[in-house]
Structure 1
Amino acid sequence: MRKFLLFTLIGIVLLSVNASATSRDSLLKVLRSEVAKIKTYDWQKDKEIAALRLKLNSHKSSGLEDRYNAVLGLFEAFKDYRFDSTFYYAQQLVSISRQLNDSRRLAENRLRLGRTLISSGMFKETFDCLREINPAVLDRELKKSYYILYSWAWSDLSKYNADRFYAPEDRGKKFRYLDSAIALTDNGSFEQLILKAQQDPGEGPHPSRFYIELMNRRLSEHEKAMVVTGLSRYRKGDEKVSLLAIAAINDIRTSTYRAQAMLDLGNTLLEQGKVNDAYTFLQLAMEQANKFGARMQRYQVARLLSVVSAERDMMAQRERQRFLIVLSSVIVITIIIGLVGFIVFVQLKKVRAGELVIRENNRLLAQQNTKLWEEGRIKEEYIGFFFGELSRHIVKLDKLKNNLQRKVKSGSVDEALRQLDKVDIHAERRELFHTFDQIFLKLFPDFVEAVNAMLPEEDQLKPKTAGTLTTQLRIFALMRLGISNNEMIAAILEYTVSTVYTYRFRLRSKALIPADEFEQRIMGIKLAAD
């Protein structure tokens, strides 16, 4: 169940940045695109700050209360954006609180000053600021902030020391103050859950249940970045990179420069051996630290950048060595190939001469084979056709002969003559032509379209019935079958030789192509594939 909730959580987080950014690479691509918009986001932030400064200037002659509120607005605008301005306005808030003689506000603003100092890595100054505050005079809300600031200071100090002697003691103090802060938070509030999530280490690789609970809520961009950064401490590999990329994206969109996400992302990529990506994002982390003025982050990034730079130098050295080895190999191979190539070139000239002869012979052979195949197919179809027609006529003549013999033997000569009159030679010839047309169009289904494509629209030959040929088409159909002699065509179709010649000449003269090419194109009409 815990694993299911975790996967659901990560899915929700990824969707919140970009519906299509579901992988590590796509999230890093989104992050790079957001880096390109940093100036736009900063411009919006500076525009907001400029408006607040105008408001402050308008209250210079007003009462301390109005000036206090204007300074507080600027402090809130700068607190994650620029350390020096945040520090200046925190001091202003402390000064105005003294002038107002407001002890609560004075304590509250000393806490703001302490948070500003620790965000820049100024540990001694932070503890000095905290010591000036008497916790006994603080109300519940300020006491909670007081304990949170102490917990934060001891936590960062333990990270800075990072040794076996001081760091464990510092972490112990962190958790003691964290317990005190949690006791003063409202039940179910974001503040309580995020503090409990920091306090609860979770179970092995699984994050605290408080992170899961937080992700089921509607969070601001900054709150989401805090939660995702915390979650990333429990994940490894691409999943951790994805979570940190989301946090870094939200930091950029909110112009948050004191955040840790970009630094953690660069460190994680370095651990995965992605040195170039690590260098890119650590450089961005250094820019963030410099813009805000975070000393602790500058120290951490500088330490990692030195490692990355050394690794990049080693990679560059290895690349140079590989390049020299490859270059030497290429030169040697090029010389060998050049010698072999010269020998091969000489041999190829001889081979190509032979290939040209073979290719030409193959072309002629292919043409001959195509012609033989067409002739064989045509002969096969028409031999079958004529055998069928002859068989039909023989059977018909045999029936006629037998009927006539019976009529003559019985003395019915008139009846025999009437039966002979019923024989319609023209109908038989029409049937012969119809069968011829069907077989021809079976062999050459595109014949009519191919012929008409060579004629103007008004002179195109269009058979009255589908599957038949006109007289002119039939003449050229016989030509396509190899019967080009006008006398033989005239004998088959029962026309005069001059009629056949006239039809051929008339169609050639109307063609859209030169007359001497017309009949060549007719002979080039392809036989239908089997």
Structure 2
Amino acid sequence: MKLYLLFIFVSLFPLSIYASPTPADSLLAVLRSEIGRKNIYDKQKEEHISQLRQKLYASQSTGPEERYKATLGLFEAFKDYRFDSTFYYVRHLVQLSIQMNNPRRIAENRLRLGTTLITAGMFKETFDCLQGINERILDKSLKKSYYILYSWAWSDLSKYNADRIYAPEDMEKKFQYLDSAIALTTNGSFEQLILQAQQNPASGDDPAHYYEELLNRKLSEHEKAMVVTGLSRYRNGAEKVRLLAIAAINDIRTSTYRAQAMLDLGNTLYQQNKINDAYFFLQQAMDQANKFGSRMQRYQVARALPIVAAKRDLMAKRERQRLLFTLALVIVIMVIVGLTGFIIFVQLKKVRTGERIIRENNRLLAEKNKQLWEEGRIKEEYIGFFFGELSRHILQLDKLKNNVQRKVKSGSTDVALRQLEKIDIHEERQQLLYTFDRIFLKLFPDFVEAINSMLPEKDQLKPKVAGTLTTQLRIFALMRLGINDNEMIASILEFTVSTVYTYRFRLKSKALVPAEDFEQRILGIQIAD
């Protein structure tokens, strides 16, 4: 009966998880998540048990065989879940076996009773139960289970004693009964290999070898879980944590509270100095032991948990001390940094004040340089223009003077007058203004667009001839050149002062920008590079 092989194993996931290893830290995270969901799994377990109880109640009106099967079903459901209920139903199985006068079932259920007692750490009661069984009447299968239960009992008693006097004797008896059980198994069977893996290490066999051999076989999911659990005892570090985490996750999902995986996981993490994780999982192991009701489980956890808790408290105390020291050090550093920062701040403030003054001076200098450059460009263009015009007019006057003098000396006064009448002053002025427009637009090619951008579309100033300016545009062109006096503008353009004023006022009133900003923006129109 494979039921009795479970005394050294706990349930695990299918072997596919072992074949494709998941990192230990990831599995621990999954385990924590599953612990938060254990009430869901327990509810499913309770629903299943409720159905079995209904089946037992229904069997009261039928024969003893149906009651036996229903009671056995409840025993199987409770054996890893609740000790008290397991104990209750296994006693009923014994009573039903006696009532049915079935010697084999009586022996079989006494073995089940012994198994239940040993799970709770009731050593005396377990040995009393075993001694009440007549070994000579057991068949091969029951005898094998009988030896396995004895081996289990001596093994747990050895763990409970944990001394140098009785524990070695208990372990010796465990191996003797284990050898007797192995002798009754079929050669090469799963049962034989799994028991051989528990033999005395002094025999020279490598227990991991049996597990690895079994892993190469086609096994059921439960058998795979048993093998992987056993193999975890012969692995170290992260691999051991990974295997035990898988087992503990399976225990949560199957509502298995008679389990060793959580305890072993906590102890393993403690050995790896992962104290907080170890403390958490040992607390979960204690919860499992309390829920199942096993004195042995509680004893095992109770021995480990205070040690881990004490080290956890010590670590917390040291951490607090380190934190206080660090805090004090940080405060001192902050004070030093604060004083240094204040000094630097004062110095930086002085430097920045100086930089601002320098930047402002540089800005003013740049503006002045730009202004001088613009003035230079304007003077260069217009001085050249006026020298050219003056030269042209001087030549014309000289030519006219010579012609008039010749005509007058020759007595041709009428011809001289006609030559003087040929001079068109209006045309000369228009030519002068055209030349002015051409030179200005060369210096300020975007001037017309800039003015119109500040005016509504209907009031925009559009010269009739490309490359020229309108009268209003010339007024503002002269302003851009720095001639802002209305009298001077009127003199240059041969207007009255009131006319110049009217043009300026009218255009400002139509502008899209504030009137006080209009002329200022005109002065800001950039000269072409």
TM-score range, shorter chain: 0.5 to 0.7
CA distance in 2, matches of 1:235, 1:253: 24
CA distance in 1, matches of 2:306, 2:39: 27
Query: 1:220-242: per-residue Cα shift (whole Å, max 9, x none)?
Result: 55444432221111111111111
SS of residue paired to 2:115: helix
SS of residue paired to 1:60: helix
Evaluate the alpha carbon distance shift between residue 189 and residue 15 of structure 1 in structure 2; reply closer, same or farther with a 3 A threshold: closer
Any conservation in 2 of the 1:221–1:250 contact (CA below 8 Å)? no
CA distance in 2, matches of 1:261, 1:103: 36
CA distance in 2, matches of 1:241, 1:338: 48
Query: 1:299-321: per-residue Cα shift (whole Å, max 9, x none)?
Result: 11111110011101111211221
Any conservation in 2 of the 1:42–1:255 contact (CA below 8 Å)? yes
CA distance in 1, matches of 2:227, 2:23: 19
**Superposed counterparts of 1:470-481, under 5 Å:** none
Q: Please name the residue that 2:212 is paired with.
A: 212
User: Are 1:180 and 2:147 matched, yes or no?
Assistant: no
Any conservation in 1 of the 2:13–2:250 contact (CA below 8 Å)? no
1:328 shift after superposition: 2.4
1:522 shift after superposition: 13
Evaluate the alpha carbon distance shift between residue 353 and residue 96 of structure 1 in structure 2; reply closer, same or farther with a 3 A threshold: same
Q: Please name the residue that 2:133 is paired with.
A: 133
Q: Please name the residue that 1:274 is paired with.
A: 274
**Superposed counterparts of 1:452-471, under 5 Å:** none
**Superposed counterparts of 1:315-464, under 5 Å:** 315-357=315-357
TM-score by length of 2: 0.65
Evaluate the alpha carbon distance shift between residue 147 and residue 204 of structure 1 in structure 2; reply closer, same or farther with a 3 A threshold: closer
User: Are 1:117 and 2:117 matched, yes or no?
Assistant: yes
User: Are 1:499 and 2:470 matched, yes or no?
Assistant: no
What is the RMSD computed on CA atoms of the aligned residues? 3.8
Q: Please name the residue that 2:51 is paired with.
A: 51
Q: Based on CA coordinates, which of the two structures has the bigger radius of gyration?
A: 2
Any conservation in 1 of the 2:444–2:526 contact (CA below 8 Å)? no
CA distance in 2, matches of 1:522, 1:247: 85
CA distance in 2, matches of 1:274, 1:262: 15
Q: Which gives a bigger RCO, structure 1 or 2 (Cα 8 Å, sep 6+)?
A: 2
Evaluate the alpha carbon distance shift between residue 486 and residue 208 of structure 1 in structure 2; reply closer, same or farther with a 3 A threshold: closer
1:171 shift after superposition: 1.2
Evaluate the alpha carbon distance shift between residue 159 and residue 484 of structure 1 in structure 2; reply closer, same or farther with a 3 A threshold: same
Q: Please name the residue that 2:235 is paired with.
A: 235
CA distance in 1, matches of 2:365, 2:148: 95
CA distance in 2, matches of 1:54, 1:356: 92
Evaluate the alpha carbon distance shift between residue 108 and residue 204 of structure 1 in structure 2; reply closer, same or farther with a 3 A threshold: closer
Segments of 5+ residues of structure 1 without an aligned counterpart are 1-11, 368-481, 488-495, 506-512, 525-530
1:187 shift after superposition: 3.7
CA distance in 2, matches of 1:309, 1:256: 25
User: Are 1:78 and 2:78 matched, yes or no?
Assistant: yes
CA distance in 2, matches of 1:25, 1:501: 84
Evaluate the alpha carbon distance shift between residue 359 and residue 253 of structure 1 in structure 2; reply closer, same or farther with a 3 A threshold: farther
Q: Please name the residue that 2:261 is paired with.
A: 261
Evaluate the alpha carbon distance shift between residue 348 and residue 202 of structure 1 in structure 2; reply closer, same or farther with a 3 A threshold: farther
User: Are 1:164 and 2:131 matched, yes or no?
Assistant: no
Aligned length, in residue pairs: 386
Any conservation in 1 of the 2:107–2:133 contact (CA below 8 Å)? yes
User: Are 1:192 and 2:159 matched, yes or no?
Assistant: no
1:32 shift after superposition: 1.3
Q: Please name the residue that 2:450 is paired with.
A: none
TM-score by length of 1: 0.65
Query: 1:429-448: per-residue Cα shift (whole Å, max 9, x none)?
Result: xxxxxxxxxxxxxxxxxxxx
Evaluate the alpha carbon distance shift between residue 486 and residue 80 of structure 1 in structure 2; reply closer, same or farther with a 3 A threshold: closer
Q: Which amino acid aligns with 1:197?
A: A
SS of residue paired to 1:499: coil
Segments of 5+ residues of structure 2 without an aligned counterpart are 1-11, 368-441, 448-462, 474-511
Moved more, 142-151 or 166-175: 166-175
Q: Which amino acid aligns with 2:465?
A: S
Evaluate the alpha carbon distance shift between residue 297 and residue 222 of structure 1 in structure 2; reply closer, same or farther with a 3 A threshold: farther
CA distance in 2, matches of 1:26, 1:241: 11
Q: Which amino acid aligns with 1:50?
A: S
